[in-house]
Amino acid sequence: MKRMKDCWPTIVLTATVLFGGACATTLTDHAAWIYPHTDALQQGMAGARARGLVLTDYHIHLRGGMTARKAAERQQQSGIRSGVLENYGREWPLHDKASLAAFIDEARSVQADARRLPVGIQVNDRDWYQQIEPELFAQLDFVLADTMIMGVGADGKPRRLWLPDVTIDDPEAWMRDYLAHNLRILDEPISILANPTYLPPCISNRYDQLWTEARMRQVIAKAVERGIALEIQTGSPYPKPAFLALAKSMGATFSFGSNNHDDVVKDPARWFEAIRQLDLKPENLWSLPDRP
């Protein structure tokens, strides 16, 4: 179904409508950034409530038309809290003091349910905590990192492991480096490890062989020791159920994330599935430290 984008939210439309020639849509009953009121959503939310869980999406990028106001509206319509962030690093939208300060100011000005939204960054350079201005770091509610950039590519730039041209000659040797990379990131002052146990497409079919229990235990133990949440992301196959179950048994905490590229809401089915399968309780969910 085609949905309304970059237009007035929460307007019930029953036919193709033009708003001043700037915005067109076809049959729809909600704005793109609002969760559709499906039975699956109602059941998932009822299940979460029955367990005493308050869900927060800590991985809402403000990009591709997504805004803090839309995130606030999504929270008010769904009861799933919205945490907003954007990428910080040398080749990323927030790349210096001015761009980061402007992002924080704008995002912190938006409220939902009479509270401002949690505001964070996703970090991409491994020296980010040495580069960031301490007074800006202090204004952040959370910092999210994934492990999906490692080493240097042929172009001399940080290698983005998700790109299709990434090849790995010796997966076992690479995996030893990758585990060390994971553990180094968990030593950074981050709050959430996004998309844990990610593997590049060229070796994704070796997950069980490469992510041995011993390796998984090292990642989980470090996250537990450092109080870092392990993310369960919509639409991602990572981490696999064996990792999640092991993490829960070792006392890890979990967070939920979307990782959107535009303002279209993503299906939260994977969160609800994890809640059921892992029998999550409030103490299993990461919670935001109190900050002003």
Residues 6+ apart with CB under 8 A from 215: 175, 179
Cis preceding-peptide flag for 239 (omega within 30 of 0): yes
Give 18's strand partners: 24
262: left (phi over 0), alpha (psi -120 to 50) or beta: beta
Q: Minimum CB separation from Zn ion for residue 146, in Å? A: 7
Range in contact with Zn ion (rule: CB under 5 A) among 29-37, 177-185, 252-260, 280-288: 252-260
Q: Minimum CB separation from Zn ion for residue 49, in Å? A: 27
* Residue whose beta carbon is closest to Zn ion: 259
Residue 32 or 143: which CB sits closer to Zn ion? 143
Residue 75 or 122: which CB sits closer to Zn ion? 122
Residue 175 or 223: which CB sits closer to Zn ion? 223
* Interface size with Zn ion, residues (CB under 5 A): 2
As a whole number of angstroms, the distance between CA 145 and CA 125 comes to: 10
Range in contact with Zn ion (rule: CB under 5 A) among 6-14, 116-124, 156-164, 179-187: 116-124
Strands 142-145, 192-193: pairing kind: parallel
Does residue 259 touch Zn ion according to CB under 5 A? Answer: yes
| Of 179, 97, 180, nearest in space to 132 by CA | 97
Separation of first and last alpha carbons in the chain? 41
Residue 87 or 139: which CB sits closer to Zn ion? 87
Residue 4 or 143: which CB sits closer to Zn ion? 143
Q: Minimum CB separation from Zn ion for residue 87, in Å? A: 7
Residue 228, both tokens: 């870092």
Residue 253, both tokens: 């905490």
Range in contact with Zn ion (rule: CB under 5 A) among 39-47, 121-129, 134-142, 153-161: 121-129
Range in contact with Zn ion (rule: CB under 5 A) among 64-72, 119-127, 158-166, 218-226: 119-127
Rg value, the chain, Cα: 20
Residue 25 or 259: which CB sits closer to Zn ion? 259
Cα angle 235, 240, 242; round to 5:
155
Q: Minimum CB separation from Zn ion for residue 257, in Å? A: 7
Task: Enumerate binding residues for Zn ion (CB under 5 A).
Answer: 122, 259
